[in-house]
Amino acid sequence: MFDCVIIGGGPSGLNAALILARGRKNIMLFDDDNPRNAVTHESHGFITRDGVKPSEFKRQAKADLMKYPNLTMYNERVVDLKKETQCFVIYTESNKIYESRKVILATGLKDVLPPIDGIHNFYGTSLFSCPFCDGWELKDQPLVLITENPSAFHKAKLIFNWSRDLVVCTNGKEIFSKEQQELLLKNKIEVIEETISCLEGLAGNLSAIRFKNQRQLKRKAGFVTTNLVQASPLAESLGCVLTKNGGIETDNFGRTNIEGVYGCGDISKSAPMQVIVAAGEGTKAAMGVINDLVNEEF
Ligand SMILES: Cc1cc2nc3c(=O)[nH]c(=O)nc-3n(C[C@H](O)[C@H](O)[C@H](O)COP(=O)(O)OP(=O)(O)OC[C@H]3O[C@@H](n4cnc5c(N)ncnc54)[C@H](O)[C@@H]3O)c2cc1C
């Protein structure tokens, strides 16, 4: 039986694995290698790793982990997880079954893009979700914010920090209050409420937003508000309590309401969603597991 199985090998799961391995626990990490940032070429904002390709980050992380003989990594999806009296039973897609005393869920989130023709062609190359991640590269450029979300006012203010040339497209929705509209106008941010018919461009490079009324807005880059959903149903099927915004509720050491189940990284939706934060949360969850195992065993 393993001391801990980690499900998900993004930055949170990989850092959890590092701390658990160094904590001398017998652990296994499962990852089906479909991270949230797979669409991007560069990841920013992690000191010593600024601008790294996400796949290279992962390769380096796995190389760091290779030196710990008490850790096994499998490139495989976990399809089910059951809590028994003494342990958790883990089922993989190749019908293998494993047992573990603790489980860390580091399965991440998925971005659901607004249903606009062509939008997938540009997400991660010229349309991004987070100005903290990609604002620097787009600074002072004419930008678009595509959003149907009422929280867009704050996002528009944030993007304005990187570029003063901003147009917000709400795709047919009326999402701003009168006061917000006035403030946007005061800062020369145009709001277009017309329905978008498609996005145009080549090889991942956006060139224009075309509207149903045939108007065309020329923009080479920008941001889009996505709907974030859990990448895996495992937490919910185990009975983990979800927060109002669909994150998994955890304490400061990643403990969920299910004893022995920990969560870290984007899945909690409680902290800013960035690689460095996810890695830090992985550390905290691993420390939670080690603390709890030590208390049980001592
Ligand atoms: C377009 C875009 C650009 C971004 N740019 C940046 C940036 O520049 N800087 C930055 O700091 N952050 C950036 N982010 C955010 C960053 O990607 C996330 O915050 C980070 O990846 C979260 O790490 P995580 O470990 O929680 O989840 P993830 O990185 O999503 O990893 C989860 C892993 O779990 C695996 N998994 C899921 N379910 C299962 C299962 N059942 N069995 C086995 N494996 C499973 C997945 O395949 C995946 O490999 C960006 C995000 C997007 C969408």
How remote is the CA of residue 52 from the centroid of ligand 1, in Å? 14
DSSP string of 195-211, one letter each residue? PEEEEEEETTEEEEEEE
**Rounded to whole angstroms, how far apart are CA atoms 211 and 213?**
5
Q: Which domains are delineated in the chain?
A: 2-110+229-297 (3.50.50.60), 114-224 (3.50.50.60)
**Rounded to whole angstroms, how far apart are CA atoms 291 and 286?**
9
**Rounded to whole angstroms, how far apart are CA atoms 48 and 51?**
9
Largest CA distance in the chain: 71
From the CB of 232, is ligand 1 less than 6 Å away?
A: yes
**Rounded to whole angstroms, how far apart are CA atoms 4 and 98?**
11
CB 149 within 8 A of CB 175: yes
CB 197 within 8 A of CB 172: no
The residue whose CB lies within 8 Å of the most ligand 1 atoms, and thus the one to mutate among 47, 275, 283, is 275
Query: Side chain identity at 37, as an amino acid letter?
Result: N
Ligand 1, residue 111: give the atom nearest the CA.
53
Output the residue whose Cα is nearest ligand 1's atom 47.
34
How remote is the CA of residue 53 from the centroid of ligand 1, in Å? 13
Residue 271's pLDDT band (cuts 50, 70, 90): confident
From the CB of 283, is ligand 1 less than 6 Å away?
A: no
- Chain segment 19-78, per-residue pLDDT in tens: 999 999 999 999 999 999 999 999 999 999 999 999 999 999 999 999 999 999 999 999
Output the residue whose Cα is nearest ligand 1's atom 41.
78
Please check the confidence at residue 276 and state whether its pLDDT lies above 90: yes
From the CB of 75, is ligand 1 less than 6 Å away?
A: no
From the CB of 87, is ligand 1 less than 6 Å away?
A: no
Q: Listing from the earlier edge strand, what are the strands of the sheet with 143-146? A: 127-128, 221-224, 143-146, 166-169, 190-192
How remote is the CA of residue 9 from the centroid of ligand 1, in Å? 9
How remote is the CA of residue 101 from the centroid of ligand 1, in Å? 25
Ligand 1, residue 30: give the atom nearest the CA.
43
Cα 280 to Cα 81, 142, 254, 277, 287: the distances in Å are: 25, 34, 11, 5, 11
CB 31 within 8 A of CB 73: yes
- Chain segment 129-169, per-residue pLDDT in tens: 999 999 999 999 999 999 999 889 999 999 999 999 999 99
